[in-house]
Chains A and B, each alone.
Chain A
Amino acid sequence: AQSVTQLGSHVSVSEGALVLLRCNYSSSVPPYLFWYVQYPNQGLQLLLKYTSAATLVKGINGFEAEFKKSETSFHLTKPSAHMSDAAEYFCAVSPYSSASKIIFGSGTRLSIRP
């Protein structure tokens, strides 16, 4: 069964610092992978999606993620954190056996220090 593991339930960085949120997946076949963001008291919105077209995926708000098959990872990065990036971030995988479903990780809460 496919799954995702997000390392670190809470990450805190200073404004202007690098943001790195870690996600590892388990899958016997190349998966489709997603990063979603949830701002306080809102629903989730898509940041970016990997569909095997390119290993480096660029998303909204300056975020990007790199698919590394050898490491089974799909870490999310942003070169310079902004206060508005404070939110919860979810990594997710679409199971090969059921293309219309998505399995979510447990989430990482990102805090930004002034």
Chain B
Amino acid sequence: NAGVTQTPKFQVLKTGQSMTLQCAQDMNHNSMYWYRQDPGMGLRLIYYSASEGTTDKGEVPNGYNVSRLNKREFSLRLESAAPSQTSVYFCASSPGTSYNEQFFGPGTRLTVL
């Protein structure tokens, strides 16, 4: 079991460029999440997908889009990157039943110049 995998691990973009962060899980989980982590601010939820076919906004969705491609995969897209989106991005998954813990990927470190 690989758990939750994320690609790429590192990325540098110029302002205005676009990119997609990929996430996949092999635990047959129903729910998947995208967070960003910034110093002193903990993790903030960007978008989540409670089940295949559904997506919902989290705390900080502006500037991002997501796609739940299938049960395994959940991608995060930056259409026009801005320096404020420099952060570490984490994908997570959970079984989706009540109050289950989430399992995290290793993260993608993104720098926008």
Q: Name the CB-closest residue of A to B102.
A: A102
Q: Is B74 an interface residue (CB 8 A)?
A: no
Q: Are A100 and B94 in contact (CB under 8 A)?
A: yes
C-alpha spacing A99/B50, complex, angstroms: 10
Q: Are B98 and A99 in contact (CB under 8 A)?
A: yes
Question: Using Cβ atoms and an 8 Å threshold, which residues of chain A touch B105?
Answer: 43
Q: Are B48 and A90 in contact (CB under 8 A)?
A: no
Q: Are B99 and A32 in contact (CB under 8 A)?
A: yes
Interface of B is mostly: loop
Question: Using Cβ atoms and an 8 Å threshold, which residues of chain A touch B102?
Answer: 44, 46, 102
Q: How many residues of B contact A (CB 8 A)?
A: 27
A43 to chain B, nearest CB (A): 3
A30 to chain B, nearest CB (A): 11
A29 to chain B, nearest CB (A): 12
Q: Are B42 and A106 in contact (CB under 8 A)?
A: yes
Question: Using Cβ atoms and an 8 Å threshold, which residues of chain A touch B58?
Answer: 101
C-alpha spacing A102/B99, complex, angstroms: 8
Interface centre among A9, A32, A34, A101 (most CB of B within 10 A): A101
Question: Using Cβ atoms and an 8 Å threshold, which residues of chain B touch A41?
Answer: 106-107
A38 to chain B, nearest CB (A): 8
Q: Name the CB-closest residue of B to A32.
A: B99
Q: Is A42 an interface residue (CB 8 A)?
A: yes
Interface string of A34-62 (1 = CB under 8 A from B): 10000001111110010100000000000
Question: Using Cβ atoms and an 8 Å threshold, which residues of chain B touch A42?
Answer: 106-107
C-alpha spacing A105/B111, complex, angstroms: 24
C-alpha spacing A103/B42, complex, angstroms: 9
B97 to chain A, nearest CB (A): 8
Q: Which residues of B contact A (CB under 8 A)?
A: 4, 31, 33, 40-45, 48, 50, 58, 90, 92, 94, 96-107
A-B pairs, top 8 by smallest CB distance, nearest first, are: A43-B104, A32-B99, A106-B42, A99-B98, A104-B42, A104-B43, A44-B104, A46-B101
